[in-house]
Structure 1
Amino acid sequence: MEKNKVMLVDGMALLFRAYYSTAMSGYFRINSKGVPTNAVHGFVKHLFTAMDHFKPSHVICCWDMGSTTFRTEMYPDYKANRDAPPVELVPQFDLVKEVTNSLNIPNIGLQGYEADDCIGTLTTHFEQEAEVLILTGDQDILQLLRDNVSVVLLQKGYGNYKVYTHDTFLEEKGITPRQIIDLKALMGDSSDNYPGVKGIGEKTALKLLYAHGSVEGILQNISTLTKSQREKIERDVDNLHLSRKLAEIYCQVDVTCSIHEAAITIDRAVMEAKFNEVELGNVAQLIAK
């Protein structure tokens, strides 16, 4: 019997990518109800193209549920540098879930957690019984790579991917996927807006991890560091620990989805009725392959 292949989709990553690829040229695909659909249209195209390419047996979509999470409680400035979503995108947040629902694909998300945390939790849940593929554009999720877990990073356009396994990541980066958490703890993350250790960049952080393995290893051997490295870390040790907590994907979110619920069972009539209602045009043809 062929092993199940579960594709966990970072819904927001696909939706935002689809939105910006057309919005840059001012193309929002407004339907007759006055609702923009450019992001939803592109999302479906990304989803169907990936399903056709990787041939999963099961698919689940994970979503962020608002900007307030346990990380913003821990550090109020977390992602505070992000602009509010564009006005044309806002009505598409609910619409995309309706469309996903019409494909009989489960929508998973929980207030207080990010899509990444839901993906991490479901990865832990499924990796023993299935091959897991994570579809995203976000490199943070590479920390979840394990023997039975691959990450598919969307590249420019449709159908272009960079696929990482645990071993290819280790070969390319020289650190294990789990060490991404320690790397980000040391150097911070300007995109997610948390500090790390001031004055330590990627080069130094990697050097320290090659030598000592982890944040704990570095702190245990702090006397062997250069005077400058030691002073920076000692001065910013609280931020180091905080940044590590912010960087780590939480894999014990109270979400669940059975393998049975995630099986691909698209009802063509239901899908086409929804696509016609939303006026998504000929996207449905993409699944006819």
Structure 2
Amino acid sequence: MRHVLLIDGNNIGYASMYVPALSRLAHHGQPTGGVMGLAQSVMRISSLYPGAVPVVLWDGHAAWRKSLCPEYKANRKDTPEKVAVADSWRQQQPLASTLLLHMGVIQMRAVDAEADDLAGRLCLNEAPAAHGIDRVTMISGDTDWWQALSPGVDWFTPITDKPMSLEMLRTAAAKDGPFAGPDEYLLAKAVAGDPSDNIPGVPGVGMATALKLLRLHGGLEGIQQAVDQGHAKDKKSVAIAAMIPAIERNLHIMDWRKAPELRPGNTGVMREDFDAPACQTFCDDLGLHRLSERLAGDASWDCAAQSWALSPTMDFCVAAC
């Protein structure tokens, strides 16, 4: 089976900076905990899915989202601690990318798109099957990625080791669920807003209430009609009806299918063969001696890299560019 792991590089690396032991890791003044955390996560995830090919997706700058919602992700720097963490990870991200290159991991980045947008291009519209990929597992702590769940696409967060599939989304295993499917989940989230990305929703309306009212009235148009005709007089339905333009804006920001097309020449895919000596030298230069020993002295990563179906995976990634 040809199985691809789409790994949200910034999401996993940034989360590593909140692990106490990693947040304090540094060498000659250079923070290194994010490099260590992401590399270890990629190795652990690969061991959980033997034979699956890891592809790390990186964020570019999706300025169009900021244009639609000026406060988008502004909460990432609203305290001195968050600013320090963001700055630390920004210093480490190029180092993490270099190490992954030495480790033989495929990486993909678009100048004007986020990792989410790349995942959308790779997962939606039958893209995996069209390139001979049997299964895609999205690796991220971001539940926005649930919108791409399908029979051949599932999700896993290494932060809490929780999986999600299309079948699970339709059960109580999904937080605030069950949901009829990804579209219903996405619409409810557009109504409720997304605090993690600082996207404001309808005040006082959470996911559960949004879901209840959307189902009761048959979607946003149904809520609007019920309010206009006086059938829905409760405050939350009235609030939703009053904010439909903002909800539609939220949906535009969140829905990967609404993202601008990737511009030719702005997206790149890179990979080099696994190079154990280069990994050892690079890790030693950063004071990451334990990681150096694992990559250079343990044959397990070499065996994993040798098992990857690289050609179809590279074709799959390049086709999305």
TM-score (norm 1): 0.84
What residue number does 2:299 align with?
288
Write the deviation string for residues 210-248 of structure 1: whole angstroms up to 9, x where unpaired: 335543554466548521244213321211211111221
Give 3-state SS (helix, strand or coil) of 2:4's partner.
strand
Cα deviation, residue 74, structure 1: 1.2
What residue number does 2:286 align with?
278
Partners of 1:241 and 1:46 in 2: CA distance: 36
Give 3-state SS (helix, strand or coil) of 1:55's partner.
coil
Cα deviation, residue 37, structure 1: 0.7
Partners of 1:225 and 1:58 in 2: CA distance: 53
Partners of 1:75 and 1:282 in 2: CA distance: 43
What residue number does 1:151 align with?
155
* Structure 2 residue corresponding to 1:126, chosen from 97, 107, 128: 128
| Structure 2 gap ranges (5+) | 78-82, 301-321
Report the residue type matching 1:201 in the other structure.
G
Cα deviation, residue 164, structure 1: 1.0
Write the deviation string for residues 169-217 of structure 1: whole angstroms up to 9, x where unpaired: 1112221122221011211122222222234222221112333554355
After TM superposition, the structure 1 = structure 2 runs for residues 183-222 of structure 1, keeping only pairs within 5 Å, are 183-212=188-217, 214-216=219-221, 218-219=223-224
What residue number does 1:37 align with?
32
Q: Is the 8 A contact 2:193 2:200 kept in 1?
A: yes
Report the residue type matching 2:13 in the other structure.
L
Report the residue type matching 2:164 in the other structure.
Y
CA 1:78–1:256 in structure 2 vs 1: closer, same or farther (change >3 Å)?
closer
What residue number does 2:44 align with?
49
What residue number does 2:73 align with?
79
Write the deviation string for residues 109-158 of structure 1: whole angstroms up to 9, x where unpaired: 223322111111122332442210111111111111111001011234xx
Looking at secondary structure, tell me which structure has more helix per residue. 2
Q: In the alignment, does 2:250 pair up with 1:239?
A: no
Relative to structure 2, which stretch is displaced further, 198-207 or 91-100? 198-207
* Structure 2 residue corresponding to 1:19, chosen from 17, 40, 45: 17
CA 1:212–1:99 in structure 2 vs 1: closer, same or farther (change >3 Å)?
farther
Q: Is the 8 A contact 1:149 1:165 kept in 2?
A: yes
Q: Is the 8 A contact 1:185 1:244 kept in 2?
A: yes
What residue number does 1:102 align with?
102
Structure 1 stretches of 4+ with a deviation exceeding 6 A read 255-258
Report the residue type matching 1:196 in the other structure.
G
What residue number does 1:7 align with?
5
Relative to structure 2, which stretch is displaced further, 211-220 or 136-145? 211-220
The alignment yields a C-alpha RMSD, in angstroms, of 2.7
| Structure 1 gap ranges (5+) | none
Identity value in percent: 25
Q: Is the 8 A contact 2:226 2:232 kept in 1?
A: no
Count how many residue pairs are aligned between Structure 1 and Structure 2: 276
Cα deviation, residue 256, structure 1: 6.4
Give 3-state SS (helix, strand or coil) of 2:256's partner.
coil
Give 3-state SS (helix, strand or coil) of 1:77's partner.
coil
Report the residue type matching 1:61 in the other structure.
V
CA 1:226–1:219 in structure 2 vs 1: closer, same or farther (change >3 Å)?
closer
Report the residue type matching 1:227 in the other structure.
K
